[in-house]
Every structure is written in structure tokens, then in C-alpha cells.
Structure 1
Amino acid sequence: MEQVEVVVTHQERATVRVGDIFLKIDADQTRTDVEVEAMALAPIPTPQVLWHKPPVLALAGLPGTALGHLGEPSTASAQAWAAADAAARTLHEAPLPRWPGHSLDELASQLDDECVWIVDNGVLPTDVITRNRRIAEVALRPWTPVFTHGDLQVSHVFIDGDQVTGVIDWSEAAQGDALYDLATLTLGHPQHLTEVIAGYGTDVDLDVICAWWSLRSLLGVRWLLEHGFDPTAPGCEVDILRTQAARGLRQRDIR
């Protein structure tokens, strides 16, 4: 008899696995609708939709394993990392989805709120947040919108050998900044930036990538804590913010 495995669960949604079938339960039907439509539009491999009866979406499993996990070294080859970014480039060149993503004003407002919350709740010292905010603001510039995955973390990209077999979790897909996807993929894995640039095959502004690392981490800390996750785990968001702050301080000293 096949067992039920809880993959992830929090206040907003849950994912369970039964054999090779994944059941995603989401109270917000809009997110599920976006996921289904985004997977249908994406020109890269995605999980097969078996059925969709709100609030449940049933998906077939993908072959292979995740490219990596935040807080852990990735054992994937350089070729696999390059293939992941080639897939991102293919997605970014596809026609835009019909729904927009976050605006610059929305992101700036969220950044204000989260920086205040992190300091007020003693998660990180003020100087660490101040330096990261300075770095993060580099990302808040006009960009040409592309079809973005919106949550292209390493655990959402599946590979078999050096080939991408599929990308999961499309509920955040929208029009957005291409470099946000690349930054999300390399969050906590800066040593793979060389492969990322090679795989993407076009100019990549490393300062903007670094800015998105800080911005994504700042925006994620409160949500993670409130939903039962630990952003202070080794190699995760709080470590990334500390590393980014030290990097910003060294750059200032060099100048």
C-alpha cells in the first residue's frame, strides 16, 4: 500500500505525495489558476496536470532530482546548472502571460515594511539591514518585463544527469524581471554564477543579481517565521543577509 507523504505544509497551502502523484491543496484558487495556466503556457518541461478540482490540484511527479536545496551544497554538475539557466532563458523569451507581477512601488513599500519588522523584532541588527537595504535598492529600477517563474529556487528545478526534466511550483509566475529568476536560482549558491551566466547566454548584471539576493531575503524572513520555517538555518536567508552585509561593507571600504 502506498503511503501519504507530507511534502510541505503551512497556513496558506499544503502539498502531499501519494506514490507518483502530488496533491496541492490551496485555499486561494487564484494561485492555483495561475499555476495551471502558467504551466500550459511555459515552453519548458512542467509537471503533467492530472486533474484540477479546487481546492486540489493533482500533478504527476517529474523524473530526476532537484538541482539543489537552499542551505546545502549542490552536487549537480556545471552542465546541469547551465541547462537550468538555458531553460530560464527559453522561458524569458516566451510571450508574456496576461497577468502582471509586482510593481516597483509595491516592492519598495514591501521593502520598507519588512526592514522595519526585522529590526523591531530583533531578528538582525540594524546595520545588517541598512547595508542590505542599500544593496537591495539596486534591483528597484525599470526593467523590460518577461515571462518569469517567480520562485525559481534550486529545489523547484529537476534534473536527470545534465538535462532539465521539469520545473515545479508555478503559482508565482507573472510578468517580471528576468534577473529576479536568475537571482532566485542562485540564492545561497553564488559559486554557480559562472555556470548561470554561461547557460543564460546573454549579458547578466551581477550587481542586480546581488541586489535581488538581498531583496528576496529581506522580503522572505517574516513570512518564513510566521509559516513555521526557519530562515536562520545555516546557509539560509539570515546567513545570506549577513554575508551580503559583509560584502557591502568591504566594497564601501575599498572605495
Structure 2
Amino acid sequence: MNEVEVVVAHSERATLRVGDVFLKVDADRARVDVEVEMMALAPVPTPKVLWRRPPVLALAALPGTTLGRLGGPSTGAPAGWAAAGAAIRRLHEAPLPPRTGRAGRSIAALTAELDDECESLVTNGVLPADLVTRNRQVAEAALRPWAPAFTHGDLQIAHLFVDGDEVTGIIDWSEAGQGDALYDLATFTLGHEEHLDDVMAGYGSGIDLDVIHAGWSLRSLLAVRWLIEHGFDPFAPGCEIDVLRSRM
């Protein structure tokens, strides 16, 4: 292969693919340290670390494909989604890692961040007040006490690879650590509500669906401003704004 594919790039980091190698460039060395540490601890398949020369981390490409992407059609069969649910359960039941992750913010901190984002979205005319207010009400159910679990912290659908009914790997672990298990599940199923039952079939019992629904509103409200500022489009069909509208 003689081409370089830009997988994702913004002011904080970039990921490039050259053949079967992914090159992650991140100016924050601590974030790369976390990623390597969490992949070593996770009880699920992760990419092989080929070499590391800060600020670059080289990872082997994973076999298989993702189950889809936010804003696009889902491509996996129900068995693939169930396998994803089972893998996520294994992660959540693993011994706790030594750090708090993105999904482990305190209720007070998360509430303050959510309220600030909601105010900014309305004040700056990004979204109508009724849309923000309704989703802020829905998100309240996610702001509750939770037992810490080993969480990925950014478990987007594009970060989990499957081959048929087997999970071949999960990527992007820089936000991992102790956190709220349902935050991971809400992130993974965001924009693909039609496969929530399949994921739950693999994950097992003990899931409050109202909290999952609340997590969709929570994550979408928190993400909109960051996405716009970093060159992404949350208004694209099937993306965060459509998720918020679906709660109306």
C-alpha cells in the first residue's frame, strides 16, 4: 500500500493508516501512556502495540469490521451485536484498573458540565431551548449513584471490531478507567436504538433502559459543541442532533 489514510484528525490528535499499521499521533504523552496501560489490563481483544516513539504509537490493524458508524447504517448481524454486548460485559466485570476514566466523573462534576453545555447551546443559538430543555430532563436519569466498573470511556460503535459473531478487538483506550458501566452501553448504542435488544441479549441482566436512554441525551448534549469546534458535524443525518430530536 502506497497511500496514507487519514482516519481522524483534529487539533488534539490524529490517526493515520498505512497498510496494516495505524499510527496515532498525540501531543499528550500521558494520554498515550493511559492507552497502552489500559489495553494491557483489558480482558478483551485489543490491537497489538508494534512500537512506540512519542508522540507516535504504532498499532497493528484489527481483523474484521465495525458494526457500523454513527450517522450511517448498521452493518452487523444480531449475533455480532450480541457478541459485542458479551465482550462489554467481560470488560465491566474485570478487576478495576488503578485510575478513574472518562466515564467515572462524579455526579456533581458531570451535572455541572452538562448544565454549562446546555446553557452554551441555548445562549449561542446552536440549538433551540425546547430541544435542550427536554433532553436535559431526560438526561437526569443518568445522574445517579453507580458502582464502579472497568469502563472504556469512549466506546463508540466505530471502536469495536467483529468478524461474524466474534469480537476481534476494541480500539482507542485513552479514556478508559473506573467508571459507570451504563455510560459505555449508552455510548455504544447511540444512534442505533434498533440494536439495543441485541446488545442486551449478549450483555445480560441488570440494565436500566431508562438510564441508557438518558445516556443518549447526556452524551449528545455534552458532545455537540466539541464536535463543531473540532470540525465534525453533529447535524448530519443520524448523528447527535437527530438523537436529541428523537427524545422529543
TM-score, reference length from structure 1: 0.94
Could you say what secondary structure the match of 1:72 adopts? Answer: coil
In 2, distance between residues paired with 1:122 and 1:243? 20
2:199 to 196, 200, 215: 196
- Structure 2 counterpart of 1:201, which letter? G
Aligned partner of residue 90 in structure 2, secondary structure: helix
Identity over aligned pairs, percent: 69
User: How many residue pairs are counted as aligned between the two chains?
Assistant: 245
TM-score by length of 2: 0.97
**Structure 1, 94-103 or 59-68: larger mean CA deviation:** 94-103
Aligned partner of residue 25 in structure 2, secondary structure: strand
Q: 4+ residue runs of structure 1 moved beyond 4 angstroms?
A: none
- Give the 5 Å matches for 1:69-80: 69-80=69-80
Contact residue 12 and residue 27 of structure 1 kept, 8 A: yes
What residue identity is the alignment partner of 1:59?
L
The aligned counterpart of 2:215 is 212
Q: Hey, what's the Cα distance between the residues in 2 that align with 1:106 and 1:23?
A: 33
Structure-2 separation of matches of 1:60 and 1:167: 12
Alignment partner, residue 3 of structure 2: 3
Amino acid corresponding to residue 171 of structure 2 in structure 1: I
Match of 2:157 in 1: 154
SS of structure 1 residue aligned to 2:35: helix
Contact 1:147/1:173, CA 8 A, preserved across alignment: yes
Q: How does 1:1-255 map to 2 (within 5 A)?
A: 2-100=2-100, 101-244=104-247, 246=248
CA distance in 1: counterparts of 2:75 and 2:17, whole angstroms: 24
How far did residue 28 of structure 1 move? 1.1
Rounded to whole Å, the distance in 1 between the matches of 2:29 and 2:116 is: 27
**1:124 CA displacement:** 1.2
Q: Following TM superposition, by how much is the alpha carbon of 1:72 offset from its aligned partner in structure 2, in angstroms? A: 1.2
User: How far apart, in 2, do the equivalents of 1:130 and 1:174 lie?
Assistant: 31
Q: Which amino acid aligns with 1:134?
A: Q
Contact 1:197 1:203 in 2 (8 A): no
| Cα deviation code 1:154-210 (max 9, x no counterpart) | 111101112110001111101111111111110000011111111101221000000
Q: For residues 71-105 of structure 1, give each alpha carbon's deviation from its aligned partner in whole angstroms, at most 9, with x where no partner exists.
A: 11202000000000100000001011111131111
> In 2, Cα distance between the equivalents of 1:220 and 1:75?
24
Q: Which amino acid aligns with 2:94?
A: A
Structure 2 unaligned residues grouped into runs of 5+:
none
Secondary structure, aligned partner of 1:37: helix
Instruction: Determine if contact 1:179/1:208 at 8 Å carries over to the other structure.
Output: yes
Shift of 1:2: 2.1
Alpha-carbon distance in 1 for matches of 2:105, 2:24: 24
Q: Report the 3-state secondary structure (helix = DSSP H, G, I; strand = E; otherwise coil) of the residue aligned with 1:3.
A: coil
SS of aligned partner of 1:235:
coil
1:14, 1:120 → 2: CA distance? 31
Q: Distance in 2 between matches of 1:56 and 1:102?
A: 28
Separation in structure 2 between the aligned mates of residue 212 and residue 9 of structure 1, nearest angstrom: 26
Does the residue aligned with 2:72 lie in a helix, a strand or coil?
coil
Distance 2:140 2:27 in 1: 33
DSSP 3-state at the match of 1:96: coil
State the secondary structure of the residue aligned to 2:162. Answer: strand
Q: Determine the C-alpha separation between the residues in 2 that align with 1:3 and 1:243.
A: 40
Letter in 2 for 1:35: E
Amino acid at match of 2:190: L
C-alpha RMSD of matched pairs (Å):
0.9
